[in-house]
Structure 1
Amino acid sequence: MAKITYIEHNGTEHVVDVAPGLTVMEGARDNNVPGIEADCGGACACSTCHVYVDNAWIEKIPAKDAMEEDMLDFAFEPDAARSRLTCQVKVTEDLDGLVVHMPEKQI
């Protein structure tokens, strides 16, 4: 299991265990973490699972692919360096301790 910390826009933290093989989005959904809507269910067809990866983790997670880059154009206030769609980040043991910050809203 990997411990992932989801931080709401208001500062509320949710630390949850997420099994390897799931996505960061599935970890939020399965643990009722508010702020990640995931309207498309993880198909990379919306931007409602957008987060900002904590600066300490930016270089430690796999790079974005072109489809994710395109969908981030629709996210609320995307940040070129820190924005990710959680449906596209697969959890591994290497992500134990990952911290993500949620935007003010999802669109």
Structure 2
Amino acid sequence: MPKIAITNLAGDTRTIDAETGLSLMENIRNNDFDDLQALCGGCCSCCTCHVYVDTDWYGKLPTPQDDESDLVEDSEHFRDGESRLSCQIEVTDGMTGLHVTIAPEV
């Protein structure tokens, strides 16, 4: 299980043992981070699972598909080179050390 650090909206960081094969969103929710609403349940349609990926890791993740890019770029909290939808990132064994911060929604 890869160890992934998650920072919540209050700025508190906790490292989780993430389950491979699940999305990052599912892992965050399964580890009781209430700040991530993920209203659409991972359908890539709402942007409520928006996270900031540490810049060292952004380029190591699979490139976002157009639908994800369109949604996240429309967010008022978009950060180029950091913003991703956690529902679109499948956790793999090679992700130990990944750090993401939950983005504000409004």
TM range (shorter): over 0.9
Could you say what the CA RMSD is over the residues aligned between the two structures, in angstroms? 1.3
Percentage of matched positions with identical amino acids: 37
Runs in 1 of length 4+ with deviation above 4 angstroms?
none
C-alpha separation between the residues in 2 aligned to 1:97 and 1:15?
9
The alignment partner of 1:60 has SS state of: coil
Q: Name 1:37's counterpart in structure 2.
A: 37
Q: TM-score, normalised by structure 2?
A: 0.92
Contact 2:23 2:87 in 1 (8 A): yes
Distance of aligned partners of 1:71 and 1:106 in 2 relative to their CA distance in 1, 3 Å threshold: same
1:62 and 2:62 equivalent?
yes
Matched residue count = 106
Summarize deviations over 1:46-79 as a string: whole Å, max 9, x none: 1000011011111211111101011113434101
5+ residue gaps, structure 2, are: none
Q: Name 2:77's counterpart in structure 1.
A: 77
Q: TM-score, normalised by structure 1?
A: 0.91
Contact 2:77 2:105 in 1 (8 A): no
Distance of aligned partners of 1:76 and 1:102 in 2 relative to their CA distance in 1, 3 Å threshold: farther
